[in-house]
């Protein structure tokens, strides 16, 4: 998110990784290499594509670098409302009755259902439980994407609530491992400010690399 990188660039060389499957893997490869000071893993949408058959999937090792590193982890539910497909005629037939949004002629987005959000929340929650370092994982109650904002095409409180409930039921919360509900959309300045504050609380200002 540009707001976050802008807020940190005075102290860090910020690297932005796009959530395209390969982007997430590149970020985690660098984290495994020890070249990153810290990670803000805001857009975890690759999980949608992995579990529902989209075109930008994560692998089963998603979050693995954070687990192995033991360093503080800050993440969020970014764009867990959508599965990415190509042009409309490439969408699997089993999804023909679903809600879609044509991002452009080459990208078709499918809204995830409450049931799918429950599945994703459980999967992510189990991975967060494996992390040994401090964890802050943010749940934006005002929506997990611009399309999931009130009045927008993918606005679905039932799906958001299913995701958040599954995470809260799965994650073994402690003083170090916490889920944090935020009453804002993930793209709001207030959300960015809270995430940046958490990052600085863990890492301070060190003029190093952050992803």
Beta bridge partner(s), residue 138: 76, 180
- Number of CB atoms found within 10 A of residue 204's CB: 9
Ordered alpha helix ranges (H), the chain? 2-8, 22-33, 46-52, 64-69, 114-129, 157-170, 189-203
What domains can be seen in the chain, in order of their start residue?
2-81+113-210 (3.40.50.12030)
N-terminal to C-terminal alpha carbon distance within the chain:
11
pLDDT, tens digit (0-9, with 9 covering 90-100), for 54-94? 999 999 999 999 999 999 999 999 999 999 999 999 999 99
pLDDT, tens digit (0-9, with 9 covering 90-100), for 109-149? 999 999 999 999 999 999 999 999 999 999 999 999 999 99
- For residue 58, what are its two tokens? 């994560």
Compute the radius of gyration of the chain from its Cα atoms.
16
- For residue 172, what are its two tokens? 């073994």
Greater confidence, 8 or 173?
173
**Residue 5's pLDDT is what?**
84
- Model confidence at 196, in pLDDT bands (50, 70, 90)? very high
- For residue 11, what are its two tokens? 């102290």
Is-contact 1 197, C-beta < 8 A?
A: no
pLDDT, tens digit (0-9, with 9 covering 90-100), for 162-173? 999 999 999 999
Strands 40-41 and 208-210, by their bridges, are unpaired
Q: Structure pTM?
A: 0.93
**Residue 35's pLDDT is what?**
87
């Amino acid at each position: 998110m540009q707001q976050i990188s802008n807020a940190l660039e005075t102290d860090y060389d910020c690297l932005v990784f796009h959530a395209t499957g390969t982007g997430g893997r590149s970020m985690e490869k660098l984290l495994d290499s020890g070249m990153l000071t810290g990670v803000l893993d805001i857009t975890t949408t690759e999980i949608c594509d992995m579990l529902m058959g989209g075109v930008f999937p994560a692998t089963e090792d998603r979050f693995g670098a954070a687990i192995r590193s033991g360093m503080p982890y800050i993440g969020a539910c970014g764009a867990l409302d959508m599965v990415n497909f190509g042009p409309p005629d490439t969408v699997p037939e089993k999804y023909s009755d679903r809600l879609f949004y044509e991002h452009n002629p080459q990208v078709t987005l499918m809204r995830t259902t409450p049931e799918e959000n429950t599945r994703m929340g459980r999967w992510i929650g189990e991975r967060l439980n494996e992390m040994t370092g401090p964890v802050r994982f943010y749940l934006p109650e005002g929506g997990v994407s611009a399309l999931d904002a009130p009045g927008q095409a993918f606005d679905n409180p039932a799906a958001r609530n299913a995701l958040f409930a599954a995470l809260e039921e799965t994650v073994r919360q402690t003083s170090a491992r916490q889920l944090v509900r935020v009453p804002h959309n993930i793209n709001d300045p207030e959300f960015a400010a809270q995430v940046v504050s958490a990052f600085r609380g863990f890492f301070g200002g060190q003029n190093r690399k952050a992803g």
